[in-house]
A and B are shown apart, each in its own frame.
Chain A
């Protein structure tokens, strides 16, 4: 029983976007950041033409200077280049894991919410089972069985976040189902599928948007923890979590090694959340 279903009764969404709100400063910054990150993910060589894997042992542990904006790591690699090239891995992990979690969650939640009491009960119990597992354990077991790497880490993190989304969707679905406009649509003779697709789902999925954008940051952090436990991306992949974990060893002597990857993780989480919220607000006030 989630408290989300006890929101005040509200008019349904019909128009997807409002043309009338001016973007606030925070939203603009977030949008620019997001663009930068996407660009870094898609065209890293454009933003950082160096070699993220190029070692320079004798130039290790340099603090930020003119040649190396973010300093160098323990093998002399340029941290700025690695952070930029690492965007693709971390964004993929963040977005893919959240997508996996969301999709699984939508399927489970819809099944639970739409298909009657017995299915609802069973799926609910199944969700509780998944909830009862510490998420890290699921991820650990998955990786130990299927081997380390970015792919398994992504799937592992996705699976462990799915129950959370499923629960919220199910609760939201039940609440929306009882609303007056759904009743109205039924009275008007729409079929079950039409009601589901045009009325229920859009209103159910909206609050998920914000949660999903929160989730992107969380997924990247999870993957970083897996790297700390030695089960993450394979070296020498320049993934932020792996860099953060490696930099932790040298935190008092070379703070820049963990600061900049950490900063990018935070910036990604921030921009995703702010953008998510602003899109959600626009849709809501349409």
Chain B
């Protein structure tokens, strides 16, 4: 059934409007009428993220994999822009009264692109694949932490059995890292499955030339979009060429010259330039989960003292830094969670820039002497903050924010030592507790991310040395609230529990929120209908068509 074009335009306008509300920036758009969607054409997408080592998001589970796999894999459920879970491959779901089993009723009219039928057995195979240690799943494995087993009650009903109630199950299942692949394909060797996973999505992986590009072609039998999509039936585009261009300036130059049609990881200077151009549109879609924040290592000096943490926050002039460096493309955040999370609690009053108060706090905390360079000392030890910076994850504008925080903190007497490190060295520094402040992103759908980031269990490192609770919050009250919230089925109770957790974190001055996880796309104006999935804010090219 053809969808009226008004819905296409309205959906796009809705996304842009939401983007405007979130960022407060003005987007220029061409106001010409677009006409009917046209079939055909090749779209070239250039990603600034690293090329994945495996196209199957079950293996590992990072953002580059999510970006591309959203085109050929689908999940059981999705999320709409209001934050509600909506049907996708599962039509409906029903938890039991004690919350220990969930029954998902699946669509019966979907086949994988290799001909296998999508049914309960397929879902079982996928859950088994994710929980199998040899798959080496990271994100998916953690998300299914409470799932003890699955059962095919009927070909279209699959039952999840849990060890305890999990209020985040639906949110977890909406993520691309738990997408459903063909069980026949999963039986192949991991190398084969990594090269070309088989799913139910609007596109199919045709070929992958490593260190070059991935080619996707349309799935002509497709008809299972989530309920918030703009149309039904197959996608419009014939082919997608997915390239990797690590350098931001080259990426934007390629977009300007028309070599590519869409880029991600657009940085503030290119967004500002694009705003002045008629041929490029801006799509702002902050990632869910945590905000971009600086976390203070509360397990050792100097930040084991809450007064010193507060003093650092008071001595950091973040507002001016963000507004001048991001030039209006990023809004200051005062919350631990992303602004797309309805449960986010924001408290600007806690994060006022007040150097005088900072100095008093330091005096109270015993750091009342100053050495010859102007830094505070206590018992002969300088007030030093080791701040490893990952050059792979922090864009230049963000590194400049850190530099400005370093400069204003110096006025109060903090010696901030920024160390630019490559990714492996950065993880190594974190694993060896060699940091006082750090900024690490974490993308997850829903407020359950707070449990991952602030429950004391998360201080225990994985065998790789990695742990997520970098602020090393070890507060039994927070733990109890988080555990309770993870089990509560009632949405309002859940929201208030998470609100209390956030207030404790913010009031404990464990973090200094900066802004949302930035996720900007720049799209050539003749590409119509591209939107981001309101789950993890990855683009979907299902509704996209080329107006040329």
Q: A253 contacts B408, CB within 8 Å?
A: no
Chain B 388-401, CB within 8 Å of chain A: the 1/0 string?
00011000110110
Bin the interface of chain B by size: 20 to 34
Over the window 216-258 of chain A, the binary record of Cβ atoms lying under 8 Å from chain B Cβ atoms (1 yes, 0 no) is 0000000000000011101110000000001011111100000
Q: Which residues of B contact A248 (CB under 8 A)?
A: 249
Instruction: In the complex, identify which listed stretch (A49-57, A123-131, A197-205, A260-268) lies at the interface while the others stay far away.
Output: A49-57
Interface segment, one of B39-47, B197-205, B315-323, B530-538: B315-323
Report yes or no: B404 in contact with A55, Cβ–Cβ below 8 A: yes
Interface centre among A231, A249, A252, A253 (most CB of B within 10 A): A249
Q: Is the CB of A144 within 8 A of B422?
A: yes
Known: A230-B391, A249-B269. A54 touches B407 (CB 8 A): yes
Q: Hey, which chain B residues are within 8 Å of A75, CB to CB? A: 321, 324-325, 400, 403-404, 407
Interface residues of B in 403-440 (CB under 8 A from A): 403-404, 406-408, 410, 417-422, 425
Q: How far is the CB of B420 from chain A (nearest CB, A)?
A: 5
Instruction: Indicate if B78 sits at the interface (CB-CB under 8 A).
Output: no
Q: What is the size, in residues, of chain A's interface with B at 8 Å between Cβ atoms?
A: 25
Minimum C-beta distance from B70 to chain A (A): 29
State which residues 36-71 of A face B: CB under 8 Å. 53-55, 57-58, 60
**A248 vs B397: C-alpha distance in the bound complex, in angstroms?**
12
Residue interface bits B335-346, CB-to-A below 8 A is 1, else 0: 000000000000
Residues on A with C-beta less than 8 A from B417 are 234
Determine if B402 is an interface residue (Cβ-Cβ < 8 Å).
yes
A74 interface residue (CB < 8 Å to B): yes
Which residues on the A side are within 8 Å of B189 (C-beta)? none
Judge if B273 is at the interface, Cβ distance under 8 Å: yes
Nearest CB on A from B439, distance (A): 14
A147: CB under 8 A from chain B?
yes
CB neighbours (8 Å) of A246 from chain B are 396, 400
Instruction: Bits for B238-254, please: 1 = Cβ < 8 Å to A, else 0.
Output: 00000000001100000
Chain B positions within 8 Å of A236 at CB level: 403, 406-407, 418
Is B267's beta carbon under 8 Å from chain A? yes
Contact of A230 among B317, B321, B422 (CB under 8 A): B422
Instruction: Using CB atoms and an 8 Å cutoff, list the residues of chain B in contact with chain A.
Output: 248-249, 267, 269, 272-273, 317, 320-321, 323-325, 391-392, 396-397, 399-400, 402-404, 406-408, 410, 417-422, 425
A residues near B, CB below 8 A? 53-55, 57-58, 60, 74-76, 144, 147-148, 230-232, 234-236, 246, 248-253
User: Beyond A75-B324, A249-B396, A252-B273: 16 further Cβ-contacts under 8 Å?
Assistant: A53-B410, A55-B403, A55-B404, A55-B408, A74-B397, A76-B324, A144-B425, A147-B425, A148-B420, A232-B420, A234-B419, A235-B399, A235-B403, A235-B420, A236-B418, A246-B396
20 CB contacts below 8 A, A to B, read A55-B404, A57-B320, A60-B324, A74-B325, A74-B397, A74-B400, A75-B321, A75-B407, A148-B419, A230-B392, A230-B422, A234-B417, A234-B419, A235-B403, A236-B406, A236-B407, A249-B248, A252-B269, A253-B272, A253-B273
